[in-house]
């Protein structure tokens, strides 16, 4: 599924619960763990510290 969003339209994804929700949605759609961040950054500005913290616990 191709997603394209202009940078000015991107929402910030900073809350850990929101990051986990995005991860769960992408994984349920068949994305590998290695592809998650790339897919998320197509749609959101992702807080990388929070993302890494969530992934360490996942």
Specify if 1 maps to a domain: no
Specify if 2 maps to a domain: no
Q: What are 13-29's pLDDT values in tens digits?
A: 999 999 999 999 999 99
pLDDT confidence band for 8 (50 / 70 / 90): confident
What's the pTM?
A: 0.81
Residue 13, number of CB atoms within 10 A of its CB:
19
pLDDT confidence band for 58 (50 / 70 / 90): confident
Average pLDDT of the chain to the nearest whole number:
90
Residue 3, number of CB atoms within 10 A of its CB:
8
pLDDT of residue 40: 96
How many domains does the structure of the chain reveal? 1
Arithmetic mean of pLDDT, 28-55: 96
Specify if 40 maps to a domain: yes
The answer to whether 19 and 58 have CB atoms below 8 angstroms apart is: no
Give me the domain span that covers residue 48.
7-57
């Amino acid at each position: 599924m191709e997603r394209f969003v202009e940078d000015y339209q991107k929402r910030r994804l900073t809350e850990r619960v929101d990051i986990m929700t995005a991860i769960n949605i992408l994984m349920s759609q068949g994305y590998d763990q290695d592809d998650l961040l790339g897919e998320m950054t197509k749609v959101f500005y992702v807080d990388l510290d929070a993302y890494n913290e969530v992934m360490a616990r996942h």
